């Protein structure tokens, strides 16, 4: 079952990455791009976890964890920049 | 071992006088004298062995791979010079106590004097030639400080600079010469070099070696045409002149001639180079000395002349000439030091050194006058004084110089002429100062100096007389020991006596004495003639002009190469990389034998995302925030690629660094203009585009070439050694904190320094801040949106837990102090973003500077701790411990080191980001003009 599910999931995640890229490049506005970046973070997490399941290892888990955290901070910071310009005030 | 103390006592002692000055000026002088005196006592303790003919050698390997050893040698020549340096040095210390005024910083003076003394002792006691050179340069530097002691005077600064430029330049030439000498003989140890005379002189490189070493010696000893720095060095305080120009600094050059005499002398080239330079200097110095109206100027040129005389003697190259040369070194040191001190007394008591204003001082200071007269008579070579003895020997040697063929009459003639001038300026020194009419335009009434200011002069003058009258009873053993080690063989017979019967040297002396007096009587006519002929020869002006030209040219060159444009540097850098790669890859087969792997769809997708976003970043670089978002995509995909290719450590690091960088960029973007105009022309964009594409393709080609070839890497070794050697199974971390721990220590130190530098630069900085965003809309009113703060606060404990987890497991699994530090820093910065500086600082009262410093300290102490267990710096250890509940786990000292790394990273990241963030608290709102 897993042998079938994993390739399909990989294909879907790759497609998602490409669509994210499309949105980042096309925009049209900055909030669109920021949202696309945030989704890209989430898709990467999914991809990494999937990779871990595929290779049956836990070693990629921390990277996924860190992307989750860093992605959040990054999105917050850019959003704050849009609002106020000054991210630390 | 005690030999090295002779050098190290004054060297360490250089620190004492600046401290002792708080106890008063006399205590300060005592502290200096005590150290020099102790060194002298140690030297005397060793002297009986040297007089018995031994050569004491002490060797301590320093950098044996380079041939540089801390090896010292005490033989007759070294003993003689060390006695002069320490003996006259002690007298100078006493003299300077009374010479320096209340306003002169005395502690600094004695400190620099002792430093110089140590450097001179190093030169004369070195067994290793490279070590000698180190001390040689040290004398150049410390004499620079001494000459420029009165730093408020421009002539002192210029004189110091000139001396440093000339002697330092000569030192460079000498370095090359010594390296060649080491190349020829295979060793830098003097014992080897001195025994290889035949090998050296037969070698094809002998002329070059000789010329380079002589350049060093001649610049130091102020030989023509490098003599001009010495008179300008007279801007120094008189004790310095008395020390540098009698017994020490300028004698270093002739010392080198004497030291290498057995190895280099005896050839025709040596004769013509050394004796020729010596003769020119002898005549030039003697001539100019007569026409100087400044007392110290006269003495300076007389020193130049006498150094020329000594050089000439060594140049003649016979053993007897070398004996005479060594003898004159002793005599010149004694009479010239006393004359300088006498000149200093006159300057001190009358306020002038101009002989045209002085005169008749006999009435005011008969005691000083008598002392000066004895020393001057010695300088003139009057019988019964020591100068006479060596001058007689000198005349005799000029008569027997080889190599000259039918021109052999020339050298004695020139020698007599120089001696004639020497008598004339000696007479002038005495008559113009102490007799005749005057003094004129003197503001104070001259009188005898303080009692102890005369003592050093008395001691030296007594030596002049003793050596002059009873040479065989006084100086003979020292001279024999010094001359024997100079010549390096059995000494020929010579007699130290005042009376050798009526002979040619005596006749030459008599001609010089009589002619000198006549010359002095004709002086006013000569002065007029001299002023007409020599008004243009101002070496100082030439030198300063040359210096200014050199500086201007280097400024131009620098401005041309380094014009401040980053684009240009990058262009040059990339272009040179292209050229190097292009030329070395041209014509080679790129593809190696290793077969290609298969590409899967996900990786291909990742590559596509990476390529497109990287290109888009470049294309949209003027739309800053959009470019920043695209840059984040690039960073993310690179991290994921690291994971894909099995480097989770790199992925973690990349992610954290990426985030900190993006935050930093956003903080900086706020203060930059919101619209960036297109500044590059189309042609230039094409050029840059082509360069960038070329560089990218080259790197791709290189990567292709490497990846298609079988590769031996060093990673196998580290993978094997990681667990048994470092006690951790995460190789990356074990390398960072254990195998290459010293590198890491250096890196975190640099990080801390960079953070402190940024902190210092941001202090007091006021920047204008924009009032609207890029499209002219006003900023939102809400500074700290409630939802943001509410979500961010619970994240902090979670993030701290993650970072602690990453820190602790780093030794065995992906993680470590660096990543953990960045995670903590980012989590804390999030609180700054969500809740503001004031709110966060109230709850986070750490001093980031102290945090950073404590990190470096913890890491360093971990390294130092291994000394405690008699292991080299940063040796790590590990142990498995059994604890209830937790089970068996490992404790490694490298973990403490990693905590140091963690603290440094947290501290410096927060120091930089928080202080950049704080800038807005003080900035002024500002409407951007379009």
Q: How far is A85 from chain B (nearest CA, A)?
A: 6
- Residue A21 is assigned to a structural domain of this protein: yes
- Partners of A35 on chain B (C-beta within 8 Å) are none
Question: Which of A10, A24, A89 lies at the smallest CB-CB distance from B613?
Answer: A24
* φ/ψ of residue B395, rounded to 5: -60, -45
Instruction: Say whether pLDDT at B808 is over 70.
Output: yes
- Sign of the CA dihedral running B274, B275, B277, B282: positive
Q: Which two tokens stand for residue B433?
A: 């100062």
Q: How far is B713 from chain A (nearest CA, A)?
A: 24
pLDDT for res B534: 65
Confidence of residue B565 (pLDDT cuts 50, 70, 90): confident
pLDDT for res B887: 64
Q: How far is B70 from chain A (nearest CA, A)?
A: 54
Q: How far is A68 from chain B (nearest CA, A)?
A: 11
CA–CA distance from B777 to each of B780, B782, B926 (Å)?
9, 15, 14
Helix (H, G, I), strand (E, B) or coil at B591: coil
User: Where is pLDDT greater, at B502 or B220?
Assistant: B220
Instruction: Say whether pLDDT at B850 is over 60.
Output: yes
Residue of A nearest to B833 (CA): A88
- Pick the residue of B610, B634, B648 with the most A CBs within 10 A to test the interface with A by mutation: B648
pTM above 0.90, yes or no: no
Question: Which of A21, A65, A83 lies at the smallest CB-CB distance from B609?
Answer: A21
Question: Which of B655, B663, B785 lies at the smallest CB-CB distance from A67?
Answer: B655
What's the gap between Cα B439 and its chain centre? 46
Q: How far is A53 from chain B (nearest CA, A)?
A: 13
Q: Which two tokens stand for residue B909?
A: 């990241």
B94-119 residue pLDDT tens: 999 888 888 888 888 898 999 999 99
Residue of B nearest to A21 (CA): B609
B376-423 residue pLDDT tens: 998 888 888 888 888 888 888 888 776 667 777 888 888 888 998 899
Residue of A nearest to B636 (CA): A41
Cβ <8 Å between A21 and B633: yes
User: What span, in angstroms and rounded, lies between the C-alpha atoms of A54 and B872?
Assistant: 46
Question: Which of A13, A24, A89 lies at the smallest CB-CB distance from B783?
Answer: A89
Pick the closest to residue A79 from A51, A18, A38, A40 (CA basis).
A38
- Residue A89 is assigned to a structural domain of this protein: no
Choice among A2-16, B276-290, B436-450, B523-537 with the minimum mean pLDDT: B523-537
Domain count, chain A: 1
The answer to whether residues B890 and B727 touch, using CB atoms and an 8 Å cutoff, is yes
Average pLDDT in chain B: 85
- Partners of A66 on chain B (C-beta within 8 Å) are 652, 655-656, 802, 823
Question: Which of B625, B655, B826 lies at the smallest CB-CB distance from A81?
Answer: B625
The answer to whether residues B605 and B722 touch, using CB atoms and an 8 Å cutoff, is no
CA–CA distance from A34 to each of A2, A25, A77 (Å)?
34, 11, 10
Point out which residues pair with B890 in neighbouring strands: B880
Do strands B924-926 and B768-770 pair parallel, antiparallel, or not at all (unpaired)?
parallel
- Partners of A27 on chain B (C-beta within 8 Å) are 626
User: b/e string for B183-198 if b means 16 or more Cβ within 10 A?
Assistant: ebbebbbbeebbebbe
pLDDT for res B883: 66
pLDDT for res B930: 42
Cβ <8 Å between A47 and B626: no
Confidence of residue B888 (pLDDT cuts 50, 70, 90): low
Residue of B nearest to A27 (CA): B626
The packing angle between helices B276-290 and B410-434, to 10°, is 30
pLDDT for res B928: 47
Residue of A nearest to B828 (CA): A73
Q: How far is B782 from chain A (nearest CA, A)?
A: 8
Residue of A nearest to B603 (CA): A14
A68-81 residue pLDDT tens: 988 999 999 988 88
- Residue A51 is assigned to a structural domain of this protein: yes
User: b/e string for B850-867 if b means 16 or more Cβ within 10 A?
Assistant: ebbbbbbbbbbebbebbe
Mean pLDDT along residues B235-246? 87
User: What span, in angstroms and rounded, lies between the C-alpha atoms of B326 and B324?
Assistant: 6
User: What span, in angstroms and rounded, lies between the C-alpha atoms of B862 and B745?
Assistant: 10
* DSSP codes joined into one string, A41-69: HHHHHHHHHHHHHHHT-STTHHHHHHHHH
Cβ <8 Å between B652 and A59: no
Instruction: Say whether pLDDT at B907 is over 90.
Output: yes
- Partners of A43 on chain B (C-beta within 8 Å) are none
Cβ <8 Å between B652 and A30: no
Spans of chain A below 70 pLDDT: none
B643-702 residue pLDDT tens: 888 888 888 889 999 999 999 988 888 888 777 788 788 898 899 899 999 999 988 888
Question: Which of A14, A60, A87 lies at the smallest CB-CB distance from B833?
Answer: A87
Please state the ipTM of this predicted complex: 0.96
Helix (H, G, I), strand (E, B) or coil at B84: helix
Q: Which domain holds residue A55?
A: 2-84
Residue of A nearest to B838 (CA): A89
pLDDT for res B105: 86
Question: Which of B609, B612, B640 lies at the smallest CB-CB distance from A48?
Answer: B640
pLDDT for res B380: 87
Instruction: Say whether pLDDT at B31 is over 50.
Output: yes
Cβ <8 Å between B643 and A63: yes
Cβ <8 Å between B659 and A89: no
Question: Which of B648, B669, B920 lies at the smallest CB-CB distance from A89?
Answer: B920
Question: Which of A25, A30, A70 lies at the smallest CB-CB distance from B655?
Answer: A70
Cβ <8 Å between A33 and B629: yes
Contacts of A72 by beta carbon, 8 Å cutoff, 6+ apart: B795
Question: Which of B602, B670, B830 lies at the smallest CB-CB distance from A86?
Answer: B670
pLDDT for res B382: 85
- Residue A10 is assigned to a structural domain of this protein: yes
Mean pLDDT along residues B161-166? 89
Cβ <8 Å between A66 and B648: no
Cβ <8 Å between A62 and B806: yes
pLDDT for res B809: 80
- Residue A76 is assigned to a structural domain of this protein: yes
- Partners of A80 on chain B (C-beta within 8 Å) are 788, 833
Cβ <8 Å between A89 and B836: yes
Instruction: Say whether pLDDT at B280 is over 60.
Output: yes
Cβ <8 Å between B625 and A78: yes
Confidence of residue B225 (pLDDT cuts 50, 70, 90): confident
Pick the closest to residue B346 from B324, B375, B323 (CA basis).
B375
pLDDT for res B409: 80
Proportion of chain B above pLDDT 70, given as a percent: 95
Proportion of chain B above pLDDT 90, given as a percent: 24
Confidence of residue B929 (pLDDT cuts 50, 70, 90): very low
Cβ <8 Å between B920 and A18: no
Confidence of residue B86 (pLDDT cuts 50, 70, 90): very high
């Amino acid at each position: 079952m897993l042998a079938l599910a994993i390739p399909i999931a990989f294909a879907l995640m790759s497609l998602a990455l490409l669509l994210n890229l499309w949105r980042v490049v096309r925009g049209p506005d900055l909030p669109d791009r920021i949202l696309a970046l945030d989704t890209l973070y989430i898709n990467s997490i999914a991809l990494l976890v999937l990779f871990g399941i595929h290779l049956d290892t836990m070693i990629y888990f921390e990277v996924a964890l860190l992307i989750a955290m860093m992605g959040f901070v990054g999105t917050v910071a850019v959003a704050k920049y849009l609002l106020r310009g000054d991210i630390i005030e | 071992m005690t030999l090295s103390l002779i050098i190290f006592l004054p060297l360490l002692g250089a620190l004492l006088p600046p401290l002792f000055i708080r106890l008063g000026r006399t205590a300060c002088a005592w502290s200096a004298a005590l150290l020099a005196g102790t060194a002298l006592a140690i030297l005397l303790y060793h002297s009986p062995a040297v007089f018995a003919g031994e050569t004491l050698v002490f060797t301590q390997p320093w950098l044996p791979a380079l041939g540089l050893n801390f090896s010292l040698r005490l033989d007759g020549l070294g003993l003689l010079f060390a006695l002069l340096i320490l003996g006259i040095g002690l007298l100078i210390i006493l003299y300077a106590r009374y010479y320096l005024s209340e306003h002169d910083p005395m502690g600094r003076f004695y400190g620099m004097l002792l430093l110089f003394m140590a450097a001179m002792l190093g030169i004369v006691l070195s067994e290793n030639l490279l070590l000698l050179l180190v001390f040689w340069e040290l004398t150049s530097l410390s004499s620079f400080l001494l000459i420029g002691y009165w730093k408020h005077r421009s002539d002192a600064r210029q004189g110091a600079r000139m001396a440093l430029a000339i002697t330092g330049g000569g030192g460079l030439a000498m370095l090359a010469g010594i390296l060649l000498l080491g190349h020829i003989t295979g060793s830098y140890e003097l014992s080897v070099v001195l025994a290889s005379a035949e090998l050296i002189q037969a070698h094809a490189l002998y002329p070059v070696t000789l010329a380079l070493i002589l350049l060093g010696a001649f610049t130091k000893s102020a030989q023509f045409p490098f003599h001009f720095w010495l008179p300008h060095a007279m801007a120094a305080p008189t004790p310095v002149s008395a020390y540098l120009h009698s017994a020490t600094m300028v004698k270093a050059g002739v010392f080198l001639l004497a030291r290498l005499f057995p190895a280099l002398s005896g050839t025709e080239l040596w004769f013509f180079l050394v004796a020729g330079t010596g003769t020119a200097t002898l005549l030039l110095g003697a001539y100019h000395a007569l026409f100087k109206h400044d007392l110290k100027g006269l003495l300076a040129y007389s020193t130049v002349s006498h150094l020329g005389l000594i050089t000439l003697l060594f140049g003649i190259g016979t053993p007897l000439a070398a004996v005479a040369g060594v003898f004159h070194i002793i005599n010149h040191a004694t009479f010239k030091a006393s004359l300088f001190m006498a000149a200093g007394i006159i300057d001190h008591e009358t306020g002038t050194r101009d002989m045209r204003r002085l005169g008749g001082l006999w009435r005011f200071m008969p005691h000083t006058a008598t002392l000066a007269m004895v020393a001057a008579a010695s300088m003139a070579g009057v019988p019964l004084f020591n100068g006479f003895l060596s001058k007689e020997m000198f005349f005799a040697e000029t008569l027997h110089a080889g190599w000259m063929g039918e021109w052999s009459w020339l050298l004695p003639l020139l020698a007599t002429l120089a001696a004639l001038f020497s008598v004339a300026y000696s007479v002038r020194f005495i008559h113009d100062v102490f007799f005749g009419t005057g003094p004129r335009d003197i503001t104070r009434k001259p009188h005898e100096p303080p009692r102890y200011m005369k003592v050093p002069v008395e001691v030296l003058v007594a030596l002049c007389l003793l050596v002059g009258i009873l040479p065989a009873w006084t100086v003979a053993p020292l001279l024999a020991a010094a001359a024997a080690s100079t010549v390096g063989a059995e000494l020929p017979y010579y007699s130290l006596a005042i009376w050798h019967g009526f002979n040619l040297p005596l006749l030459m002396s008599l001609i010089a004495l009589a002619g000198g007096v006549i010359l002095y009587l004709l002086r006013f006519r000569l002065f007029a003639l001299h002023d007409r002929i020599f008004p243009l020869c101002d070496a100082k002006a030439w030198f300063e002009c040359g210096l200014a030209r050199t500086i201007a040219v280097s400024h131009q060159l620098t401005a041309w190469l380094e014009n401040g444009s980053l684009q240009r540097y990058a262009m040059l850098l990339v272009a040179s990389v292209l050229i190097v790669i292009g030329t070395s890859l041209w014509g080679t087969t790129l593809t190696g034998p290793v077969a290609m792997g298969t590409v899967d769809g996900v990786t291909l997708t990742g590559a596509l995302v990476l390529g497109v976003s990287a290109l888009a970043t470049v294309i949209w670089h003027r739309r800053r925030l959009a470019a920043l978002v695209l840059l984040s995509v690039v960073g993310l995909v690179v991290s994921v690629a690291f994971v894909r290719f099995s480097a989770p450590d790199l992925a973690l690091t990349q992610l954290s660094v990426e985030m900190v960088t993006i935050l930093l960029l956003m903080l900086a973007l706020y203060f930059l203009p919101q619209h960036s105009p297109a500044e590059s022309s189309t042609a230039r964009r094409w050029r840059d585009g082509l360069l960038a594409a070329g560089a990218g393709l080259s790197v791709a080609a290189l990567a292709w070439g490497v990846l298609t070839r079988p590769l031996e890497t060093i990673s196998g070794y580290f993978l094997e050694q990681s667990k048994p050697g470092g006690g951790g199974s995460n190789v990356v971390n074990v390398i960072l904190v254990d195998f290459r721990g010293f590198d890491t220590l250096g890196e975190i130190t640099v990080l801390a320094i960079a953070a402190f530098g940024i902190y210092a630069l941001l202090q007091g900085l006021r920047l204008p801040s924009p009032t609207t965003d890029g499209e002219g809309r006003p900023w939102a009113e809400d500074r700290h949106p409630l939802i943001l703060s509410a979500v961010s606060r619970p994240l902090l404990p979670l993030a701290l837990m993650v970072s602690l987890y990453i820190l602790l497991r780093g030794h065995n699994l992906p993680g470590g102090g660096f990543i953990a530090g960045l995670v903590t820093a980012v989590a804390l910065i999030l609180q700054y973003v969500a809740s503001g500086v004031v709110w966060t600082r109230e709850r986070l009262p750490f001093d980031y500077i102290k945090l950073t410093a404590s990190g470096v300290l913890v890491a360093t102490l971990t390294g130092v701790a291994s000394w405690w267990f008699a292991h080299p710096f940063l040796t790590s250890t590990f142990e498995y411990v059994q604890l209830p509940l937790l089970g068996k786990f490992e404790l490694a000292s490298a973990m403490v080191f990693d905590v140091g790394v963690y603290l440094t990273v947290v501290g410096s990241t927060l120091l930089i980001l928080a202080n950049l963030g704080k800038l807005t608290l003080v900035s002024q709102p500002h409407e951007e003009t379009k």
